[in-house]
Structure 1
Amino acid sequence: MERIHIPMSIRVKLLCDLSFYVPQNCRICNFNLRSRLWDNLIVENGNNSFTAAFIEDLVSLLKNQIGHNIYFQNIEDSDDHLVYYWLGMSKHQFKQILDEVPRLNNAHRGATALAAYLTKLKTGDSDKRRLYETIRNTLERLRSIARELQTQDFVPQNLGLQHMTRQKIAEGNLIIPNGLFASTNQIKPIVIMDGTYVFIQKNSNYKYQKQTYSMHKLSNLVKPFILTYTDGYILDVLGHPVQQQ
């Protein structure tokens, strides 16, 4: 049976919930990792002596707990408000997105890749923050994988004219738009189209910052053109950064 290194989230959980310290580089089988029946585990050859390295590692685990790190591979163990703060969505919504992209869900550290991508979109936070238990180069690679798989698998199913039929659009019509634009004999699909401004922060990329700066609004922004149903469901988003000649 394959044994893997015990994740830091499990080590912190055992320390805080069961007052049981697990040193670094200890291994666990996949069955016990997934079942999480920690109370039923029988410890053999336990070590009751502490070295200086053990104490330093123990303090590091406590710091991680105090820092409220989120362990995205086991997101159910994280606080709801912290998940929403970093991802802008609930744990259920996060898992729903992950389930709709099987290639990402089955990939190694797929949940971490998706979380890193969503966190970057929402906060633009620096990669130096210790949220992901990984080095920066690996984090950038995971984020690129998540972005690519989201674009290929998730976006076509949830955005664009091709992901919804005319009949489905017509079923979403509200009473007043139906009375104004639809005939009594046939209900037609009604779509509202409008452009809007979305203000963004200054970018470290000079070319992109120049392209997104609006002389009219005196700020960096993008101007998406949005197509929605009359009930508010977003059908598609078109457009590109505002460019000033």
Structure 2
Amino acid sequence: MRVLCQRNEQTHLDFDDLQTLTDSDCLSLLGLSMDNFQTLCDCLKDHVKQTPSRSLRKSTAIFLCKLKSGLSNQILSTLFRTSKSSLRRAISAVRNAMMTCFVPYNLGFEHITREDVINDHTRHLAQTLFGDIDKSQAILVLDGTYIYTAKSNNFRYQRRSYSIHKGRSLIKPMVIVTTTGYFVSIQGPYLADHKNNDASILEHIMKTNAEDIKNWLSEDDIFIVDRGFRDALPLLEDLGIQAEMPRFLEKGQKQMSTSDANKSRLVTKIRWVVESSNARIKRWRYLDRTLPTNQIPFVGDYVRIVCALSNKFFPPLSKSHSIEEDEADAAKMLYLSKQVNNLQRLVEDNGLNRRPTQWQPVPECGIENFPTLDEEQLRNLTCGTYQLKLSRSYIQEHIDGDCDIWFNKDNDRLLRVKIQSRHTSSKQYLVCIEFSDCSVDAWYCTCRPGARVVGMCSHIAAIIWYLSKGRHEGGKYGVRDWGEHVLDAADIPPPVDESDSDASSCDSVPEE
């Protein structure tokens, strides 16, 4: 970290004189702009005791810098030119003050009404996909996040805080956000053993009526959740809460039906915002490191403070350009979700996934009539950007890596492709794409969600991106292979045959 110098050449940070700092410096060190930092200090001025050696600004800056950078107290003591004991008192004082006079006004079910959530923090896209505008439903997205901690010498607690899923000790706050990424509430943190999975945590929240959540919610409100909440669905149904969750693969099936895959895509179109909200929490580096056990009592406070700061000072994570755009996207996705995948039927009825095929690389296959598409057209096909972001990595593995990508053109409209799974090296998928001179009309992949028509899987998106755009860009995929800087124990040169070398040396000796 760059140490800023004052005009009097004192090499320490001084937030009492903001003229020595730029707005960029303040953002890097504290996570807030100068104006937002001043607003926060004004809020805390009657709740943080000032001393001759530690002003309100300095105490607040120490606390924010600790959260933002995750630096040790020893380094912060040097940067702020204060003793470690004084630094600890500053952090404790600001934390208590923020939990008293800042967090309650910017986080929790009591700080915001249902009407404000519906009118100001709900995307019209989500309301159209899952709700009924006439019923005025609140839509919340829930997920647990992880705060890693050191192992405890208390063996009982060590067992209860050990996550088999992550293979390490942690505690789990439950994050509840709106469809724009606005933090409504943080519950917990909870333990990490099998008794504290996402479904159990949600049941505990509802049965204990945390933050009077039952009175805040209304019948027909909607929870967007992932599959980990499946055991809590009966409770939500009893409470009149509508739960939307990605579908499961039926027993004995290897691929989701088109209907289930489509409905799952509708859920993930909205649910991604809670993952980005969790990432926003972890951008405060103190919460992204392994915390010592003596900080466990304060983890809940730190997470709530970070989320309150995000609500107060940061822009929404998800925001549409206009209501009309959201309505158009929702109408398109709802229409597609009711369609069937005719190309899948064609492939299965004609046995195209089992027929022996002579595979060829792109130059020999003659796919010159594949339509050229721009970014906007590709986004319209994929119904989002996630699959397109993965396309470059998929294609680079096949073009520059150890995998091969093979094509077979059955006719002028149908293309079959074999592509490598990014998760399992021994698995390949068959991708089928139907196209015309100016558009891509249908697609199907043999992967688990590959039958959907609301968007497409990453395998299909990668092939369409490559043929319609990527190959025309000169092979610039922009994903660097860092493996060239790391040794590979499997890369061992073949051994030298010593018998051949002995024989050659013997041949060179003249006979007696």
TM (norm. structure 1) is 0.63
**Which of 83, 87, 112 matches 2:58?**
112
Please give the secondary structure, in 2, of the residue aligned with 1:71.
Answer: coil
Please give the secondary structure, in 2, of the residue aligned with 1:164.
Answer: coil
* Range moving further from structure 2, 101-110 or 133-142: 101-110
Unpaired segments ≥5 residues, structure 2: 195-512
Output aligned runs, 1:52-63, within 5 Å: 61=10
Please give the secondary structure, in 2, of the residue aligned with 1:188.
Answer: coil
Output aligned runs, 1:34-113, within 5 Å: 61=10, 64=11, 69-104=12-47, 107-108=50-51, 109-113=55-59
How far off is 1:154 after superposition?
0.6
How far off is 1:83 after superposition?
3.0
* Range moving further from structure 2, 76-85 or 156-165: 76-85
How far off is 1:94 after superposition?
2.1
Contact 1:195 1:226 in 2 (8 A): yes
TM (norm. structure 2) is 0.32
Q: Which amino acid aligns with 1:140?
A: R
Computing the radius of gyration from Cα coordinates, the structure with the larger value is 2
Structure 2 partner of 1:143: 91
**Which of 73, 80, 105 matches 1:127?**
73
Give yes or no for the alignment of 1:163 onto 2:106: no
Structure 2 partner of 1:233: 182
Structure 2 partner of 1:50: none
How far off is 1:160 after superposition?
0.3
Paired with 1:105 and 1:184, the residues of 2 have a C-alpha distance of: 45
Contact 1:72 1:132 in 2 (8 A): no
How far off is 1:164 after superposition?
0.4
**Which of 100, 123, 131 matches 1:174?**
123
Please give the secondary structure, in 1, of the residue aligned with 2:16.
Answer: helix
Paired with 1:183 and 1:161, the residues of 2 have a C-alpha distance of: 22
How far off is 1:158 after superposition?
0.7
**Which of 202, 212, 222 matches 2:171?**
222
Please give the secondary structure, in 2, of the residue aligned with 1:240.
Answer: strand
Paired with 1:156 and 1:231, the residues of 2 have a C-alpha distance of: 20
Residue 184 to residue 150, structure 1, CA distance change in 2 (3 Å): closer
**Which of 142, 145, 149 matches 1:193?**
142
Residue 75 to residue 241, structure 1, CA distance change in 2 (3 Å): farther
Unpaired segments ≥5 residues, structure 1: 1-8, 17-60
Paired with 1:230 and 1:170, the residues of 2 have a C-alpha distance of: 10
Please give the secondary structure, in 2, of the residue aligned with 1:173.
Answer: coil
Paired with 2:31 and 2:82, the residues of 1 have a C-alpha distance of: 22
How far off is 1:184 after superposition?
4.0
What's the CA shift string for 1:160-206, capped at 9, x where partnerless? 000001110111221122123433434222222222334x3647x75
Residue 195 to residue 127, structure 1, CA distance change in 2 (3 Å): closer
What's the CA shift string for 1:93-132, capped at 9, x where partnerless? 3223222333247845111111222222233322222122
Residue 90 to residue 184, structure 1, CA distance change in 2 (3 Å): closer
* Range moving further from structure 2, 154-163 or 131-140: 131-140
Contact 1:98 1:105 in 2 (8 A): no
Paired with 1:119 and 1:104, the residues of 2 have a C-alpha distance of: 19
Give yes or no for the alignment of 1:242 onto 2:191: yes
Residue 161 to residue 202, structure 1, CA distance change in 2 (3 Å): same
How far off is 1:136 after superposition?
1.7
Paired with 1:236 and 1:197, the residues of 2 have a C-alpha distance of: 16
Q: Which amino acid aligns with 1:242?
A: L
Please give the secondary structure, in 2, of the residue aligned with 1:103.
Answer: coil
Q: Which amino acid aligns with 2:88?
A: E
Structure 2 partner of 1:27: none
What's the CA shift string for 1:6-25, capped at 9, x where partnerless? xxx9x942x46xxxxxxxxx
Aligned residues: 183
Paired with 2:154 and 2:68, the residues of 1 have a C-alpha distance of: 22
Residue 187 to residue 195, structure 1, CA distance change in 2 (3 Å): same
Structure 2 partner of 1:152: 100
Q: Which amino acid aligns with 1:137?
A: S
Paired with 2:149 and 2:32, the residues of 1 have a C-alpha distance of: 21
